[in-house]
Structure 1
Amino acid sequence: MLEFKEEVLSLTKELVQHPSINGTIGERDIAYKIYNYFRELPYFREHPTHLRLCKTEGDERERYNVLALVKGKNADLQETVILMGHMDTVGVEDYGKWKRLAFFPDDLIEHWREGKVQARVRQDIDTGDWICGRGTVDMKSGVAGNIALTRYYAEHLNELNGNILFVSECDEEDNSRGIQSAVKDLLHLAQEEELSYVGAINTDYTSPQFDGDENRYVYLGTVGKLLPSFFIAGKGTHAGQPFEGFDPNLVAVELTARLDYNPEFCDELYGEVTQPPVSLKQTDLKKKYDVQTPLSAFVYYNFFVHSWSPKDVLIRLKGVAEECFAAAVDQYRDRYLRFSRYSGNSRQPLETFQPRVYTYEELYEECLSRFGSEFQRGMHQFAMNLLNEKELDLREYSCKMVEELWNWRGEDTPGIVLFYSSVYFPRIVLSEKDDRERRLIGAVNRAVKEVQPHYSRPIQVRNFFPYISDMSFVAISDDPEGISALQKNMPAWGTKHRMDVEAIQSLDIPVVNIGPYGMDAHKQWERVEVPYSMQVVPNLNFQVIRHLLGM
């Protein structure tokens, strides 16, 4: 194996010591740091147009992606492998008393050695094989490995039977504006330099999948991620006359009880199973205290997919919403009868209403049919005005759009609107049936077979990277119906949120993830294992490139 460890370790510490928390000026400046590193290499002095600092489009912040192209010994060869990874990190508030050390791996680990830490953390740091700090595993060690590989090929062009394109993107930890902006840059670069992208290697972090898991994982393709959301309209009343209204929180509770952690909604493909849905928000929409019951509620759930499209998920969850609404109404009526008997008071019959469940598309089409162009203009104007409320995130913006749509409906009866309120991370499924995908799968399997004898723990190849990542934006496995269902049921589509589906489909690169191994990403105890992450991983990727480009 080639010797990469010391170089990647040094680069990792350099990158970690340059804070690049998402949304801060450091996220902008780390792109300059990486750009300036490459600019000093002889190859890029001779080929300055192969190094680019690309500003993100449609971004309220000044941020950049870095692209560095190395053309091999035969400049006429078009086949190109992309090495990709994100530069930004999450924040450091969770570090508590060690916050000031979060970007200084050597100092932080010394304080850990002297302080009180978790048993597993102590076990790892005592081996001397781990470094810690924000971004060490997620994912500056992965970016450092890509820098080292790019530098190696820039100095050994005779070993490159094609081309390497280094891509380091911003904003992965929020809305993935970096990679979505980079898609157009990649298409333009391919046209200008006559490149043919044959595969991409992402180097995002990997972790154990269960207690005691000693495997190191390589992933073919990636999980998809949706945020199905429910706007629940109730009927307000004075708290002293509760049964004259209907509390939407009763339905929200039923939805969460039905969906939260439920394996029934795990998506299985190729023998691999997604994590179940989990609630990320559950709230009513009252803005202040009074004794009126809430008029509406809002809930959303993280939802991973392997084979299901956005359309498939809508179909499943609309049925769930109908069941939950019916259960809530039954419970409401049962408790009214029990209260009537308990209090001994004569009660008027409850108002009879049928729970109504719509997708956003269904309710929009109903209102369009009833109110025509006036409705269409009104919703568009509302959407544009809402953009001026800068403090609204994508989820809140979407909820307000649905609330306005419900107001157009104009009926004082309870109901649910099902919609998507956040960025869709498309699933990517690699198949042996596709020539390019089969070629990449073969290159990965050969690389693992060759490198495994040099590492003591098993390296396993699996089909789906289990976390959301920028991998999702270099190809899309969904069919047109699935994408259409997403667009028509995401209120922010085309206004607050844009995703260039056509550009991603034009790019269409098979992608794998071969990245560093570590623990506790996004947590105080974030750390990365050095021997695997900084020696084995770069060699795995080196071998994948060789086999993919026919060396």
Structure 2
Amino acid sequence: MGVGDLKWNQPEQLEDLLCELVGWDSRTGTMGEIEFSTRMLKKLLELHYFQENSSHIHFHDAGKGRNAVTALYRSGVTNKTIVLISHFDTVHTEEFGAGLEDFAFQPRQLTEELKNRMAELPEDAQEDLASNEYLFGRGTMDMKMGLALHLHLLERATVEKWPINLLLLTVPDEEVNSSGMRAAVKELVELREFYGLEYELFLNGEPSFSQKPQDPNYYIYSGTIGKIMPSALFYGRETHAGEPLSGMTSHYMASYLTRAMEFNADFVEEAYGERTPLPVCLQQLDLKEDYSTQTSHHCAALYNVFVMRQNADGIMKIFKDTAVRAMADCEKDYKAVCEREGVEPIGDINVLEYRELLAYANDKIGKGEVQEILEGVMADDTLDERKMSMLISDRLLLHCQELTPAVVLFYAPPYYPAINSSDNELVQEKIALAQKVLQDEFQVEAKQVHYFNGISDLSYVNYDAADSGWQSYQHNTPVWGETYSIPFKEMQQLQAPVLNIGPFGKDAHKLTERLHKKSAFIQTPHVLEKVIESIFVPIKA
């Protein structure tokens, strides 16, 4: 077979491949996500190399019937290996509405249908649609094209017998909890040992995301931003609404911490001239189930914090300091009201980490009963890991009411550690090469971003081998080791730099999600080929 016989090489072939992959509806949590791995197996077996080496394709259990897929091209002349990382799940499509949802996974048809609804679209989307330079559809940008590009590279390598190994890894559930990538980490370690591989580079294919609205720039990423979710259970004292000062509502307590957390500059980091977004509250939930004139004594809040160099231990320290100050203000204002009304205050507010509550409960009611409480909450499959974390803290505090009023600080999943390879010589060389190719051959200026701002699965490789701050996350995550865990020790064994080169697109997770066709089908494939060739040519020499 020669280059002319390749299946996924020409722009038209790549567009056909993308449309096929997008057509495999794989929204997170659906049957399509479960079935995608089997479809991917069949697609890989279209390549002669994998027909002869089907044992190089592996499924890796990611829970709930889903599987991550790896496919190894082994050159036989070197152990040097590039890992190609992508995810195949997409977000849901409710925003398309009844009239368009049937077209969400048919890029060509959707693009034509949108031309009949031009006036309904934002002005920039109208311009791109009229230009015929974009392909619209759920997953076109985020990130089925990244997977298509990796399949293209895999085919080229197997046919042309590239003197380097390529390990394709595509995973489910990146969009919610990254269950696929977290499951795949241990498998990457095992595959490395089994085949004697040496990982040189983790190359992701997430698209170029805008840094701000209407951003036209193309970006290459040498790292990925981290995200962590410090959370709090607020447990006051219930009372009748007619006697409000006989208790303390959880919402009164929560208002002080939420105000202290939102836009709090203490959490902001700067690195390489880039800055993390300010923290915000993602959810506040009243745990009182029914309406009555009894006040709500328990609620919970989840706060989003982005990180660059901070670990879980450092974030918890800042979070606890913030909570202690916020509850001091709450107490001060509450006591002033009590004094004004001639009422005796109910007591001071305790601030404690989940690990402290767990230890206290184990001593008071015994580890066996504590375990029963945890298992009882986690047995409810209608709950996600965030609600479970809230309810576990709530149930434990129910048995320790002498600690109330109290705020329990915990971590709720997911956690994406920040990873950065900007100072790595190989990454610097490959970014410079990619920039030169794009400028010289396509007159495209590619800018480097040090932290991918869209959250990515690169968070789970190349973790700092000397860091132990992750243990704070383990000890303060109520569902740790049961329904959620992160393989930190294995992540620390995957010591190779990270790089993200993907196609240009716009409006991920929106009705107007779209992919720039020239970038996707011509420019990015060429750049990726040049980058990988520059790695294996020295090996060959």
Q: Same fold (TM over 0.5)?
A: yes
Greater mean deviation of Cα atoms: 242-251 or 449-458: 449-458
Q: Which amino acid aligns with 1:27?
A: E
Change (3 A) 1:326 1:87: same
Instruction: Give the equivalent residue in structure 2 for 1:9.
Output: 15
Matches within 5 A, 1:381-400: 381-400=372-391
2:112 counterpart of 1:118: no
Q: Which amino acid aligns with 1:120?
A: D
1-structure distance, mates of 2:450, 2:301? 31
Change (3 A) 1:6 1:498: same
Instruction: Give the equivalent residue in structure 2 for 1:451.
Output: 438
Change (3 A) 1:32 1:3: closer
2:217 counterpart of 1:215: yes
User: SS of 2:468's equivalent?
Assistant: helix
2:157 counterpart of 1:153: yes
| Partner deviation per Cα, 1:27-79 (whole Å, 9 max, x = no partner) | 12222222212212122222222223x0415x1x222222221223xx13100
1-structure distance, mates of 2:54, 2:370? 48
Q: Which amino acid aligns with 2:139?
A: G
Instruction: Give the equivalent residue in structure 1 for 2:5.
Output: none
Instruction: Give the equivalent residue in structure 2 for 1:344.
Output: none
User: SS of 1:507's equivalent?
Assistant: coil
Matches within 5 A, 1:228-243: 228-243=230-245
C-alpha contact 2:61 2:183 (8 A) present in aligned 1: yes
Distance apart, 1:155 and its partner CA: 1.1
Greater mean deviation of Cα atoms: 498-507 or 132-141: 498-507
Pick from 448, 453, 461: which aligns with 1:466?
453
User: SS of 2:224's equivalent?
Assistant: coil
Q: TM-score, normalised by structure 1?
A: 0.91
Greater mean deviation of Cα atoms: 33-42 or 471-480: 471-480
2:230 counterpart of 1:258: no
Distance apart, 1:536 and its partner CA: 1.9
Greater mean deviation of Cα atoms: 105-114 or 2-11: 2-11
| Partner deviation per Cα, 1:250-306 (whole Å, 9 max, x = no partner) | 121222222223444222122211111121111221010111111111001111100
2-structure distance, mates of 1:384, 1:194? 40
Distance apart, 1:136 and its partner CA: 0.7
| Partner deviation per Cα, 1:198-237 (whole Å, 9 max, x = no partner) | 1111111222212443221111121111111001111111
C-alpha contact 1:39 1:51 (8 A) present in aligned 2: no
2-structure distance, mates of 1:408, 1:30? 45
Distance apart, 1:494 and its partner CA: 1.0
1-structure distance, mates of 2:377, 2:361? 20
Pick from 351, 358, 374: which aligns with 1:357?
351
Pick from 483, 499, 516: which aligns with 1:529?
516
Change (3 A) 1:413 1:388: closer
Distance apart, 1:367 and its partner CA: 4.1
List alignment gaps of at least 5 residues for structure 1.
Answer: 341-346
Pick from 43, 47, 52: which aligns with 1:37?
43
User: SS of 1:200's equivalent?
Assistant: strand
C-alpha contact 1:56 1:177 (8 A) present in aligned 2: no
C-alpha contact 1:35 1:51 (8 A) present in aligned 2: yes
Distance apart, 1:522 and its partner CA: 1.4
1-structure distance, mates of 2:231, 2:348? 21
Instruction: Give the equivalent residue in structure 2 for 1:66.
Output: 69
1-structure distance, mates of 2:51, 2:322? 60
C-alpha contact 1:214 1:458 (8 A) present in aligned 2: no
C-alpha contact 2:235 2:297 (8 A) present in aligned 1: yes
1-structure distance, mates of 2:188, 2:507? 32
Q: Which amino acid aligns with 1:210?
A: K
Distance apart, 1:397 and its partner CA: 0.9
Q: TM-score, normalised by structure 2?
A: 0.93
Moved over 6 A (4+): none
Instruction: Give the equivalent residue in structure 2 for 1:95.
Output: 96
1-structure distance, mates of 2:449, 2:232? 33
Change (3 A) 1:479 1:278: farther
C-alpha contact 1:429 1:477 (8 A) present in aligned 2: no
Distance apart, 1:530 and its partner CA: 1.3
Change (3 A) 1:540 1:263: farther
1-structure distance, mates of 2:206, 2:103? 23
C-alpha contact 1:4 1:148 (8 A) present in aligned 2: no
1-structure distance, mates of 2:193, 2:102? 46
Change (3 A) 1:77 1:207: same
Q: How many residues align?
A: 528
2-structure distance, mates of 1:322, 1:121? 47
User: SS of 1:411's equivalent?
Assistant: helix
C-alpha contact 1:383 1:495 (8 A) present in aligned 2: no
C-alpha contact 1:451 1:536 (8 A) present in aligned 2: yes
Instruction: Give the equivalent residue in structure 1 for 2:4.
Output: none
C-alpha contact 2:308 2:418 (8 A) present in aligned 1: yes
1-structure distance, mates of 2:413, 2:491? 18
Pick from 467, 471, 496: which aligns with 1:509?
496
Distance apart, 1:171 and its partner CA: 1.4
User: What is the Cα-based RMSD across aligned positions, in Å?
Assistant: 2.0
Matches within 5 A, 1:13-412: 13-52=19-58, 54-57=59-62, 59=63, 61-72=64-75, 75-96=76-97, 97-115=99-117, 116-157=120-161, 160-336=162-338, 340=341, 347=342, 349-351=343-345, 353-368=347-362, 370-371=363-364, 374-411=365-402
2-structure distance, mates of 1:270, 1:256? 30
C-alpha contact 2:77 2:163 (8 A) present in aligned 1: no
2-structure distance, mates of 1:6, 1:362? 60
2-structure distance, mates of 1:283, 1:331? 23
Distance apart, 1:186 and its partner CA: 2.0
Identity across matched positions, percent? 30
Q: Which amino acid aligns with 2:515?
A: V
Greater mean deviation of Cα atoms: 224-233 or 319-328: 319-328
C-alpha contact 2:17 2:148 (8 A) present in aligned 1: yes
Change (3 A) 1:34 1:329: same
Distance apart, 1:4 and its partner CA: 4.6
Q: Which amino acid aligns with 2:378?
A: L
C-alpha contact 1:322 1:355 (8 A) present in aligned 2: no
C-alpha contact 2:223 2:422 (8 A) present in aligned 1: no
